Amino acid sequence: MRATLITGASMGIGEAFAREFARRGNSLVLVARSGERLAALAEELRSRKVEVLVCRQDLCRPDAPGRVHDFCLAHSISVDILVNCAGLSHASDFSAIPPEKAEELMSVNMLALARLSRLFAADMAADKKGGIINIASITGLQGVPGLGLYAATKAFVLSLTESMHEELKEHGVKVSAVCPGFIDTGFFQAAGHERTNEILPLSPPEVVVRAALKGLMKNRMRVYPTMLDTILAFSGRLVPRDTAVRLAGFLSGARAN
Ligand SMILES: NC(=O)c1ccc[n+]([C@@H]2O[C@H](COP(=O)([O-])OP(=O)(O)OC[C@H]3O[C@@H](n4cnc5c(N)ncnc54)[C@H](OP(=O)(O)O)[C@@H]3O)[C@@H](O)[C@H]2O)c1
């Protein structure tokens, strides 16, 4: 069976990906920790006559990506599209971030994404087809005071995805990095952002999904889901770097303004 694998499918942008792929009739493998949420979503999507399997994993664990890959092998699933969406942030100056939170953030945002990409990219390259969508962020374009570690993990995602995009092109595999700005999910609350600090408008997760799928189809290296994201990304190149960093910190709302 061919299927689309989505990490972080239990809520937010990942859940929106799952709904859209189900609407398109794709079989799905949903990955996250929240078993009940995943089970409820799977149940709902199966009523649309698509196959949905749940693979509950804590992607902090170094062996989790291998377990996800083994799960697919055990169910005779060939993953045609991988969406690396699981991620978290933490609003804090870098020196004040609790060590265990820093480990969690780096493990999920970077290590799990890299391990999953490597495992499934090898299968796709052997198959001479497939697609990988890695969810980065516009915070990955420069340092962001108050959000430094998160921004650094997203810079990692961007850089790795760009290299993979070029390397896998000749093997028939499309790879895109998606750089959303401000999306209306539980993400900011979970990261401890003060909602009152938010200056810029939030877009619905479906905007990210539509842009990502269009971008992958055209094999775009980078995808900016909204006009605002595009403006923010390019305006950052027009000002001195330290100004861009200060502006990103101000706009992120991670610190009290
Ligand atoms: N929201 C935004 O404005 C925004 C902007 C730019 C980029 N992004 C990126 O978009 C992606 C999705 O964010 P979102 O807004 O949808 O956030 P969200 O609503 O908080 O969802 C995060 C997802 O990641 C999963 N996850 C977190 N830690 C995990 C772990 N240890 N193991 C497995 N799954 C884990 C969560 O599932 P469980 O808790 O069930 O495990 C959840 O499904 C992230 O990579 C984020 O960095 C978001």
The whole-number pLDDT of residue 150 equals: 98
Q: Which amino acid is at 114?
A: A
Split at pLDDT 50, 70, 90, the class of 195 is low
What's the gap in Å between 187 CA and the centre of ligand 1? 6
Domain 2-252: which CATH number of 3.30.499.10, 2.120.10.30, 3.20.20.80, 3.40.50.720: 3.40.50.720
- The length of the chain in residues reads 257
Active site residue: 150, 156, 182, 187, which one? 150
Beta strands in the chain (DSSP E): 2-7, 28-32, 52-56, 78-84, 130-135, 173-178, 222-223
What's the gap in Å between 144 CA and the centre of ligand 1? 19
Among residues 144, 156, 161, the alpha carbon closest in space to that of 241 is found at 144
- pLDDT tens readout for residues 1-31: 999 999 999 999 999 999 999 999 999 999 9
What would the 3-class secondary structure string for 111-154 be? HHHHHHHHHHHHHHHHHCCEEEEEECCHHHHCCCCCCHHHHHHH
Q: Which of 15-24, 57-66, 197-206 has the lowest mean pLDDT?
A: 197-206
Highest mean pLDDT among 139-153, 182-196, 198-212: 139-153
Cα distances from 115 to residues 4, 60, 125, 133, 155, in angstroms, run: 17, 12, 15, 14, 17
More confident residue, 256 or 69: 69
What's the gap in Å between 46 CA and the centre of ligand 1? 23
- With tokens 């290299």, the residue in question is 163
Q: Which atom of ligand 1 is nearest to the CA of 186?
A: 19
224 is catalytic: no
For the segment 213-235, the average pLDDT, to the nearest whole number, is 97
| Radius of gyration of the CA atoms of the chain, in A | 18
Q: Which atom of ligand 1 is nearest to the CA of 37?
A: 40
Q: Is the CB of 60 under 6 A from ligand 1?
A: yes
Split at pLDDT 50, 70, 90, the class of 154 is very high
